[in-house]
Amino acid sequence: MGDYDLVIANGTVVTAEAVYIADVGIVGEEIAAIGQGLRGRRTLDAGGCYVLPGAVDVHVHLQMPVSGGRYVSSDDFASGTIAAAHGGTTTVIDFVEPQPGQSLREALAARRAEADGKVAVDYGLHMTIPTWHADEPQALAEIPALIEAGVPTFKLYLAYAGLRLDDAQLYTVLKALASHGGLPIVHCENGPLCDRLRAEALAEGHTAPRHHALTRPPRQEAEAVGRALDIAALAAAPLYVVHVSCAEALERIVAARRRGQPVFAETCPQYLTLTAEMLERTGGERYICAPPLRREADQMALWGGLARGELQTVATDHCPFTLAEKAEGADFTQVPGGLPGIEARLSLLHTLGVRGGHLSLSRWVEVCCTAPARLAGLSRKGHIIPGADADLVIFDPVRQVTLSADSLHERAGWTPYEGLRLHGWPRLTLSRGEVIVEEGRFTGQPGHGHFVARFDVT
């Protein structure tokens, strides 16, 4: 009889701090020991593979209605989290979007009812504070109750009519969040300006997808990042900037950090790998997302920012729509925005980040697993230490996989990474001690995942 329920033996443990060969012993749902020669009732040999903390994706949109409910993102809580698990992601954080007249707590309960019982991996939720709640004292008065319920992160939009906050609203909401210890996570694009540029383009007869990128240029994103940072400084609030896509926006973040401002920032695989030229292809509308895809020079700036610690996390902003849905609109302004990507993030970052020479192994784990867990308040995730949840990935660094919609488990029916050859893919994914994916086969079940109450953000 061994001392542990399960031992992952002989693997190369990769954490944000170190890389070393060791066994990992698991009891129940937790990591119990890391050492040599551990004996378990069951042993999984990880020789030649990396043993990683389960990856954490803090930015996903599953079954999300957009365009007033005309479209709903094509992965639901079951399919999206199964796809995530195949790629080694063991925790996702999705969003609550309260409707007008709905309290934040009612909206949280409704969103949890959609996810609980369906999720295959653990999940958390960010609370959106939309335009219609930003001026309502009773909505802002709910902030402490939400933080107590384990929802300490609040999504604020500066783009999208209906959702976006103006400067005064942003200031008021940031101040309210700061006074209770909430972390604002902000979509930084200048919505009114983008709307004007889009209207101008349409008036000139420019309906093609490439005008999506031209009417959301890097400078407007940088302006919104800079403005959000300045308003956050006035409100004495920390800031987490989602989906940074370009060098100009990153420059504003770096400058604010140099001034000592508590700012954290995320980028996404699409901004590291794809460019706006894809919008010019036949069917280019499928690549519409916001912020838009940028230039190669931006990719290099983002890789540099990740390597230097100026960007802390890589999340997917997974927001998939089918090709038919993407192609339906009469012009680029009518295309539902967002790309699929929940499954391949960890592996993409291994191939292009580690093998591509931009990231060390430990930095790869830090940006995909450890830093997102820490910033989002997932204290039991992102580490390989005794007492942490046994969310683990056995990652085979030499397994080669050619990405294709047919072999991925996402439901959009297409992938922006079609044909991309990756080096390294998970052999096994464990969630709280249970093997949920083994050699490409899903062995878990929808409903295994729990809502994770999160505290102590940043």
From the list ligand DUC, Zn ion, none, which binds 51 (C-beta under 5 to 8 Å, kind-based)?
none
For residue 159, the minimal CB distance to ligand DUC (Å) is 7
Q: How far apart are CA 137 and CA 427, in angstroms?
A: 50
Q: Site for ligand DUC (CB under 6 A): which residue of 337, 377, 416, 424? A: 337
253: left (phi > 0), else alpha (psi -120 to 50), else beta? alpha
- Using DSSP's 3-state secondary structure scheme, residue 106 falls into helix
**Would you say 269 or 337 has its CB closer to ligand DUC?**
337
Q: How far apart are CA 71 and CA 58, in angstroms?
A: 22
Query: Which one of the spans 99-107, 124-132, 293-301, 309-317 is the region binding Zn ion (CB under 5 A)?
Result: 309-317
Contact of 40 with 278, CB cutoff 8 Å: no
| Total residues at interface with ligand DUC (CB under 6 A) | 8
From the list ligand DUC, Zn ion, none, which binds 290 (C-beta under 5 to 8 Å, kind-based)?
ligand DUC
For residue 397, the minimal CB distance to ligand DUC (Å) is 31
For residue 276, the minimal CB distance to ligand DUC (Å) is 14
Q: What is the largest CA-CA distance in the chain?
A: 76
Sorted by sequence, the CB contacts under 8 Å of residue 282 that are 6+ apart come out as none
- HSE of 141, CA atoms in CB hemisphere, 13 A: 4
| Total residues at interface with Zn ion (CB under 5 A) | 1
User: How many other CB atoms sit within 10 Å of the CB of residue 375?
Assistant: 22
Is 290 a binder of ligand DUC (CB under 6 A)?
yes
Q: Site for Zn ion (CB under 5 A): which residue of 75, 76, 142, 317? A: 317
Query: Which one of the spans 220-228, 230-238, 244-252, 311-319 is the region binding Zn ion (CB under 5 A)?
Result: 311-319
List C-alpha distances in Å: 316 to 56, 137, 291, 457. Answer: 10, 33, 13, 20
**Would you say 225 or 290 has its CB closer to ligand DUC?**
290
**Would you say 338 or 449 has its CB closer to ligand DUC?**
338
- Residue 119 Cα to chain centre, angstroms: 16
From the list Zn ion, ligand DUC, none, which binds 337 (C-beta under 5 to 8 Å, kind-based)?
ligand DUC
Contact of 152 with 377, CB cutoff 8 Å: yes
Contact of 412 with 63, CB cutoff 8 Å: no
Q: Restricting to residues 174-193, which ones interact with ligand DUC according to CB under 6 A?
A: 187
Q: Which of 131, 143, 213 is nearest to 184 (CA)?
A: 143
Q: Site for ligand DUC (CB under 6 A): which residue of 15, 16, 32, 61? A: 61
Q: How far apart are CA 426 and CA 168, in angstroms?
A: 46
From the list Zn ion, ligand DUC, none, which binds 76 (C-beta under 5 to 8 Å, kind-based)?
none
For residue 319, the minimal CB distance to ligand DUC (Å) is 4
Q: Site for ligand DUC (CB under 6 A): which residue of 120, 319, 335, 394? A: 319
For residue 337, the minimal CB distance to Zn ion (Å) is 9
Tokens of 385: 């230490």
Q: Which residues would be at the binding site for Zn ion (CB under 5 A)?
A: 317
